Amino acid sequence: MSKEAKIYGYLAEFANAQEIYHAAEKIRDAKYSRWDCYSAFPIHGLDAAMGLKRSKLPIFVLCGATLGFITAISLAYITQVIIYPTVVQAKPANLFTIPAFFPIMFELTILFSGFTVLFGVLGLMKLPCFHHPLFNSKQFSRVTDDGFFIAIEAADQQFSAEATRELLESIGGTNLEVVYDEVVEEVQSKA
Amino acid sequence: MGHLITSEQIAIDGEQLTSAPFKRAKQILGIIAIIGTIISFAILFFATDSLQGTFAYSWLFALAYALTIAIGGCFWVLLHNLSNSGWGVSVRRLMENLGFVFPFLGILCIPFLFPDVQQYLWEWMTKHRATGVDMFSSNPSRLFGFWGGQDLIDALFYKHEALLAAKAWYLNVFSWYTRFIFYFVALGWVIYRLRKISVDQDTDPKPGVARLFQARAFSAAGLPILAITATFLAIDWFMTLNYTWFSTMWGVYIFAGCALHSMVVIILTAIVLQKNGYLKNVVSPEHFHIMGKLTHVFVIFWAYITFSQFFLIWYSNIAEETMYFTLRNTAGWYWVSLTLTFGHFALPFILLLPHWMKKNVKYIKWVCVYLLVLHAVDMYHVIIPQRGPSLGLILGDDPVLWFGGIQAVFLDIFALLVVVSGFGYFYLRNLGSVNLYPNRDPRILESANLSN
């Protein structure tokens, strides 16, 4: 095995949704932070079992919405009242024109929120991601069918080659595998 | 995700509301309602003209408040059945009991059937009666007067009431009475049937899914009846307080208030019941989260509809349409309008944004109480501003644009107190007469273990 291949982490398979749920609780209690569960379908309550904190996305979206709101009100007010007062159908050209600005305020608030949601999600999930080290594992392809996997990253503070493997084995992990950042065969052939 | 609720934790015969404080509350509300209703009916029929007229508006305002909430209860039952929802099975009985208040409220609406009361509220009726034409017509092609007889239309033209003549196909006394009866009989029957289907399940030794499908199919037929009732009741009773005014968004505006505030009442009921030790195993913070989200949705929907109605009228600037808002943006009513804008939309919108606000009953109960107060302001804003101008014309006084004299406010509060007591009595009666949740529903465990 080449020394160039960096270890991504451990991958362990679990028998069913129930086992992966309880395994997740134990890994959470062992204070790991950089790890994830993989399954073909959403498992209710798994986020709590993993000890996942609430996403920061709502805060970003609130900022985006506020920004959109302020943009809209300034855009409408500055152009329609300050720079070029537009008098239509005897409507006032001052702050009381505000009902006419509501659709713009509404739309821009939604638009900016939508953009923040889209780009916030992409940013927080580190997407687009063209390749993931876990795809190097042959058995991992079963995750889209009937496999339940937990991967603990080597980048985790708690990670140790011995203790982490023992933990995964003790909580029922089978087919334990070390996953490398690059495909191992390629590295070996180079060496 | 707490511990899973299993069928052992669901009482075989369900929970019944039998505690002493509940019975006492029902008694007190019943007594207030009976005494208050007798006094109210006496004022409506035997007081001086001015008092009678003033109180007719108070009574309509109070019933607008109660009826909207009851209709909303029917809406949630129908929607829950129709959308095949599993989440709300635990609280479905609360919706059914809330909706089933609606037919009982018909008792409090009886005064509106009498011309003595109608003359102050609906001027068009007085004008129709002044023509002297019988409200029934012999012409079968006009449905015997349901679509307004030709005699009536001619007589209205003769009196220079072209507007009423043009509207006579809808706005005539015969069809008004017919619709009045239809609302209570038809929607009352829908909610009675749905509640019965649900309640029968509780004692069935072999509960299956048959009633689930039956309720769903029946709800599909019931939803149009609800739509017709909510829309035309709003038009018949509230919009035609000024028969020259019209708004095509009126029905959906009133409906938005119905759906919002009935959900608020359902949340409050669930909180009170849980505090007294009921619904412990079946209702969790997850339910409050969902119901809070629905409340939030309808806070936005209410604002969207209310603003759209205002906006379209404001933009087109046609005198026949703007009169509603001209009246409500004049004098003190201006501040009531502003209160609704900020108090009924902006504040609850922000309050209900965070998820912990919706999940934690400590917070959401205050938001709910607050919203119920604002619903009274909303209904006040719909009904009462018309009182000054109308009574001014009918009784020959100077038109009063503000509250119509300070004593009128006390009459309004009194009417609201009486009707809400009656509402509370019927609601508690419904709650106490059946199990608090459908304990043998096939999806009760799915609902109890809700996670969202």
Local confidence band at A82 (pLDDT 50, 70, 90 cut-offs): very high
Shortest alpha-carbon distance between residue A17 and chain B (Å):
15
pLDDT at B405: 59
Q: Give the Cα separation of B252 and B305 in Å (integer).
A: 7
Pairing of strands A174-180, A7-14: antiparallel
Q: What percent of chain B has pLDDT over 90?
A: 68
Chain A residues near residue B355 by CB distance under 8 angstroms? 54
* Rounded distance between C-alpha atoms, residue B333 and residue B325, angstroms: 10
Can you tell me the mean pLDDT for A97-121?
Answer: 93
Spell out where B229-309 has E strands: none
CB contact under 8 A, A99 and B311: yes
ipTM field: 0.77
Least confident of B142-156, B284-298, B326-340: B142-156
| Longest CA span, chain A | 83
pLDDT for residue B407:
73
What residues of chain B lie within 8 A of the CB of A91, using their CB? 317
Whether residue B334 lies within 8 A of chain A, CB to CB, comes out as no
Report DSSP letters for B31-56, one per residue: HHHHHHHHHHHHHHHHS-HHHHHHHH
Using CA coordinates, name the residue in chain A closest to B314.
A99
Q: Is B327 left (phi over 0), alpha (psi -120 to 50) or beta?
A: alpha
Cross-chain Cβ contact A99/B317 below 8 Å = no
Give the whole-angstrom CA distance, residue B305 versus residue A63.
Answer: 26
**CB–CB contact A44 B307 (8 Å):** no
Cβ(A35)–Cβ(A173) below 8 Å: no
- Residue B246's nearest CA partner among B177, B167, B165 is B167
Q: What is the mean pLDDT of chain B?
A: 91
pLDDT higher than 70, residue A2: no
pLDDT tier at B222, thresholds 50, 70, 90: very high
CB A152 within 8 A of CB A159: yes
In this prediction, residue B2 carries a pLDDT of 53
Give the confidence band of A152 by pLDDT, cuts at 50, 70, 90. Answer: very high
| % of chain B beyond a pLDDT of 70 | 97
What value does the mean pLDDT of chain A take?
88
**Burial of B394 from C-beta contacts in 10 A (0-12 / 13-18 / 19+):** middle
Give residue A116's identity as a one-letter amino acid code: T
Q: Which residues of B touch A99 (CB under 8 A)?
A: 307, 310-311, 314-315
- B451 in A contact zone (CB under 8 Å): yes
Least confident piece of the model among A79-93, A119-133, B183-197, B411-425: A79-93
Cβ distance of A49 and B310 shorter than 8 Å: no
- Tens of pLDDT, residues B95-119: 999 999 999 999 999 999 999 999 9
pTM of the model: 0.88
Using an 8 Å Cβ cutoff, are B120 and B394 in contact?
Answer: yes
Preceding amide of A128 cis, omega within 30: yes
Cβ–Cβ contact B317 with A under 8 A? yes
Q: Name the residue in chain B with its Cα closest to that of A45.
A: B1
Q: Which of A44, A62, A103 sits opposite B451 (nearest CB)?
A: A44
Q: Is the Cβ of B314 closer than 8 Å to some Cβ of chain A?
A: yes
Closest Cα to residue B78, out of B211, B213, B266, B223?
B223
Question: Residue A48's closest chain B neighbor by CA?
Answer: B1
What tokens were used for A64? 């985006």
Tell me: pLDDT of B427 over 50.
yes
The two tokens of residue A171 are: 């909580």
User: If DSSP codes are grouped into helix, strand and coil, which group holds residue A12?
Assistant: strand
Q: Where are the alpha helices (DSSP H) in B171-249?
A: 173-182, 188-203, 210-233
Tokens matching residue B245: 């005014």
For residue A100, which residues of chain B lie inside 8 Å, CB to CB?
A: 315
Q: Give the per-residue pLDDT at B1.
A: 43
Q: Is the pLDDT of residue A178 over 60?
A: yes
- In this complex, do B311 and A102 lie within 8 Å of one another by their Cβ atoms? yes
Number of A–B residue contacts, CB under 8 Å? 21
Handedness of CA B371, B372, B373, B375 (dihedral sign): positive
The torsion region of residue B75 among left (phi > 0), alpha (psi -120 to 50) and beta comes to alpha
In B, which residues are within 8 Å of A48 by CB distance? 1
Which of B87, B308, B315 to probe the A interface (max A CBs under 10 A)?
Answer: B315
- Chain A residues lying within 8 Å of B317, measured CB to CB: 89-91
